[in-house]
Structures are given as structure tokens and as C-alpha cells.
Chain A
Amino acid sequence: MTLAANRIVAGEGVQVWQLATLAETLPGIAAVGAGLLLGVQAGRQRLRVAGAIIGLGGLFWLLMRGAPALMEGAGEYARVSPALGFWCLLLILMLLLADALAQRTPGPVARAGLLAAVLGTLGLILWSGALSPLSIMQEYAGRRDGFADAALRHLALAFGSLAVAAGIGFPLGILCHRKAGLRESVLPTLSLLQTIPSLAMFGLMIPILGWVGDSVPGARALGIAGIGFAPAFLALVLYSLLPVVANTVAGLAAAPPAALEAARGMGMTPGQRLWRVELPLGLPVILTGLRIVLVQNIGLAVIAGLIGGGGFGTFVFQGLNQTATDLILLGALPTVALALVSAIVMDILVELSRPIPKDTA
């Protein structure tokens, strides 16, 4: 088991017990071992949660102790990064934690609390600087301003396109729900858009928006051009429309026909039926659509880096060009974290929006 926990310095593997003095590494190794042992206790969820937390603690302890120890005397340009063993153990322990927590089916509030606790711990570790010897943190240190810009740009791309897609998609979805004819033409068109591969879509945006920027007066002043933020944003909006519209239509259709007939019979106007019956009953499905869009866009926004759209994708593609793995990770890890956090938050919202308490339905 300890065999798997490797460390690499300048491309050379360093086994966990060679990291530092045994006195320093032993508690970490012991914690990981104990954590895994506790984790196999299927059916005893409390133990599994404790095991996962102890294991993760040990893992980070090794990382925080090992990295500076290795850096000592290794020269100014030396780099330390976690190797395969670390990532495998991290994955295993995280899965263990997620599974054990899921078995206990915490309510939405408890889940929000857990999420905040995890994020808080992670933030504390990062802020404390204990991991700063790691090479990914050094990549970060070299690009502190660029990172903040990229993060803002990434968020603007993902959430902005979501907001615009929702702004167009909700009314369109409601119209499609009301008019079957419109539905039959709109949904296939949006499906077609969805099938365009993402790279091709970003590529297509270049000539189209380039032409718009050149020929429509004032468009250039608004920042509309073949490359940059605008084409990336537009592409994301187009990708978002199908999930938003389709889920709005499906959500609105979820209301029982008898309830709608009764609503009409008691004198509700079409608007009242929409707001009081159809939307509340369809909200979980509609929010699920937004969740799909958000997670999808956070991922797709990485590709926006390719056409100058900014965001974490910039680091990923820079890293690919320089074959600098740590730089790629600097772009990829925040993206993954952002997507995960968004998914969890949206799941909590979906659950809170359920019109009927779960235990009664």
C-alpha cells in the first residue's frame, strides 16, 4: 500500500519512506493505512466517513511534510509534484468519502454544510502556504494576476452564457409548451446545434462573428470579432439552449392534466396556471436543465481558451504547448473543482425546489 504512494522530483520517483525522516512520514503513512482499513468496513458508514477523513488528512500531511523536505538542497529550479500514487489514493479516499456520505443520505442543508466544510478546509490548506513548495503552486505564484483574470473570465463565460441561455430558453420553452407546432420545429433545430462538435463550433464562430464584426457598424466597438470573448460566449449560449428549452418543456408537461383542467375550471388565467401550477411542479426538472448547462459550460469554456476567449483554458493550452504538466493542471484542477461545486450546489437547489416534501410523495 505504501508502495503506491510515490513522490517525483524532477522526474524521478521518490518513494514515500524516502521523503523525509521516518519520524516525519510515519504518522502520515499510518493515517493513510488506518483510513483505508476503516474504509473497507462496508455497512458501517460512520467508520467509513472517519476513515476517509483520517486517510485524506494523512495524505495531505505527507504532501505538506514531504515537499519542503525534498526541496531542501535541491536547488532553486527544482520542482516537486505529487505522482500517480498520490492521485490514486486521493481518488480512492474521495470516492470512499462521497459514497459513505451518500449512504447516510444527508438533507440539502447538511449537504450544503458539508460542501462548505470541505471548501473551507481546502481553502485553509491553500491559504496557509503549506503546499506552496509544490510545483503547481509555483506555477500559480508566477501567474497570480493572470489566474484571477482567467478565473473571472471563466466564470463570466460559464455563468453569463447560462444566464443568456436561460433568458432566451425559458420564454422559448414556455412558448414551445403552449404551441405543439413550434415545439416540433424548435427542438430538432436545437438538437442539431448540440451535435456540432465543440471544436468545430468554436471554429465556425470565427468566420461568422468575424464577418459580423467587419460588416455591422458598431459591432466591433462592442467587442464582436472572430476571436476572443464574443465567439466563445455565443458558442456556449448555443450549446446551452437545447438543455434549457427541452427541460423547460418537459418540466411544464409534468403537471397532471386533471390538475390543469381543474385550474382552468376554477377560473385561473393562463398566466396564473403557469405561475401557480405548471412552474412550481416543473421547477426541479427545469433546474436540472440548468445544472446540465452549467456543468457542461464550465467544461466547454476551457476550449474557449483556444480562440482567445480566456478562462482556465488559456493555461491548459499554454501548458500543452510547453508540455508543462503542472501548467495544464493549473488550468484543469480549478475547472474540475468549479464544475463539481456547481453540480453539488445545483443538486441542492433542485432538491429544495421539490414542490412536495419527499417523504410524503
Chain B
Amino acid sequence: MIEIDDLTKIYGDATAVDHVTMTVETGTITVIVGTSGSGKTTLLRMINRLEEPTSGEVRINGESTLATKPHLLRRRIGYAIQGHGLFPHHTVARNIGAVPQLLGWERDKIRARVDELLSLFSMEPAAFRSRYPAELSGGQQQRVGVARALASRPDLLLMDEPFGALDPIIRARAQDDLRRIQRQLGSTIMLVTHDMEEAIRLGDMVAVMDGGKLVQYATPAEIIAEPATPFVAEMVGDVERPLRLLSLIPLSELVEDGEAEGAAMPAGASLRDALAACLWTGRSAVPVEKDGATIGRVTFAAIRARAELHA
């Protein structure tokens, strides 16, 4: 559990982060979203003390971060940044093994961990281990950057716009990978982005920052359905709100008995996907399948009714 307690950062006359208090549960993804200058990156950087707080403190599993020397603290906290920040003169293996090496792990243990992480990120260890970052594609570089941040099994992974430099298709894949790996490893992740779409897609919880203040801290569904301020509503985007809401609800929630025409959709797909399928193929319902067997259908009318709950 990460407790952020009344954290404040003042630069001269400007207050970058203004008395932020929030609690992050272990094993979840929390996305901090805001515009440029909202203080989101400063908030993140105060957690591993790349910035020292003016006042307030952060506790990780009950222990204040002020109790440890900053560089020792940072070795326990993964950190991934936009543009990956890989060391250009080190191979992929040395890059990923950087933190374990700082921690004094044995060589064999580091090697095994590097291979494990490469496999986890769908990169064949034998093929990638001894390459240099310049020999990788943008998406691969980004994956190595995240693998490096996870290498020492940190208590917490901080990510600052990790997908900012990727094109939309690669970004969506990277987000799915992150989600999958986070579920698999049970990592605690705090991620900063300016992209509300990304926040809703990835976050178990979403924290919206504006002018250094935490204006809303809630689940994605709440953020969409009940924005706390006009600023949050604007970030969500009025026009897209119903679609964003539907994108959070799996088909399994609305599935009912009955027949439907056409190709079946997996139960884990979102209502937005089902709506798109209905509109595009002119169907009034789509069949739903789970583990290869059809378990029922989701109707256009049911999707509409679900969206109107918030009207």
C-alpha cells in the first residue's frame, strides 16, 4: 500500500503540487492524468524522491520514504520514462540487469531474470539478449525499458508517459501487454499520462490533477459517470462519455439467453465493441461466447438501456 500524505511541492512562488493525499492499493494500476503543468509528473517524481517534497510524506507499506537514502530508495522502486532512457552503450541484457546489478545480485540470477522478463514481453531471449538498443524498434525499446524497471521485482513501478513516444497501434499493444503483465505479476503501478483514453483503459483507479490539486480520485466508471468538476468532464470529453463508459463494461454483464445472427464475440469484450459490431453489420444483437461455447447474446436495446442509466 502506498500512502501519499499531504504532499506539497513549491518552486519559488509557484505551487506545483498542492496538498495531495491519496492511497494506492497493492497490486493495482493507478493512473494520474492531467494537462501539462498540472503537477502530475512532479507528484510522481516525489514518490521516488527525484524531487524532494516541500512538505508532507509518502509511505510505502507503512515505511516513510524519508527514512531511506534517495538512491537506495530508488533501487526498490521501478522507474520507466517516455523515450525509454535505455543506455545506448549497453546490450539489452545489461540494460535490463542494471538494477539487479546495483543491488549486487549474482550473475546467474541476473541472467535468469533477464531471460524471464524478455520472454514475458514476448521477446525471444536468445535473439534479443545481446542486441544494442539502437538495433531495436521503438516498441521493443519501450518494452525493454519497462522490463528494466521491473527487473528487481520492485514494490512499486512508476511510469512517466511510458507510451508517449509510440504510434497509436503499437501503443495499444503496449497497453494491453502492461495490463496482462501487471495481472500476472501482481505489480503495483503508478502511471502518469495526459491521455484520458489511456487512463480509462489501464487504470483500476484514476487520479485527475489540475493546477497542482487532486480534483478527483475514483474508478474509471465513476470518473466518466460523475465527473467531480467541469475540468474532469472536459478531460473525459462530453461527446465520448457514453462510449467510454460502455468501453468499461464487459459483455458478460449484459448477456442474456437467446439466439443471434453473425460472428460471436468473447464475453470479455466491451459493450462498446458490441455496439460497434451491431451498427456496422446492421444486427440488433450479437452472440456471446466463452471458452469457445456460445453462452447467449447481448442485444442492441440492452446496450442502449445500460448507457441511459446515467442520463
Interface residues of A (CB under 8 A from B): 256, 258-269, 272, 276-277, 280-281, 355-357, 360-361
Contacts and interface: CB of A to CB of B under 8 A. Distances in A.
B48 A265 contact: yes
A259 B102 contact: no
Nearest to B158: A265
A277 B87 contact: yes
Interface residues of B, number: 30
B85 A267 contact: no
A259 B48 contact: no
B84 A266 contact: no
Contact of A269 (B71, B86, B149): B71
Interface of B: 48, 50, 70-76, 79, 81-89, 98-99, 102, 131-132, 134-135, 145, 148-149, 158
A263 B73 contact: no
Given A259-B85, A259-B86, A268-B71, A357 B132 contact: yes
A182 B71 CA distance: 26
B71 A281 contact: no
A269 to B, nearest CB: 5
13 contacts: A261-B81, A262-B81, A262-B86, A264-B74, A265-B48, A267-B73, A272-B102, A276-B87, A280-B89, A281-B88, A281-B89, A355-B89, A356-B132
B67 to A, nearest CB: 15
B89 A265 contact: no
B144 to A, nearest CB: 11
What is the interface of chain A mostly: helix, strand, loop, or mixed?
helix
A258 B98 contact: no
Contacts of B134: 356, 360-361
A258 B83 contact: yes
A263 B87 contact: yes
Contact of B102 (A262, A266, A280, A360): A266
B66 to A, nearest CB: 16
Contact of A259 (B74, B76, B87, B131): B87
A267 B81 contact: no
Nearest to A256: B88
Contacts of B82: 258
Contacts of B48: 265
Contact of A265 (B81, B132, B135): B81
Contacts of A262: 79, 81, 84-87, 145, 148
Contact of B74 (A258, A266, A356, A357): A266
Contacts of B145: 262
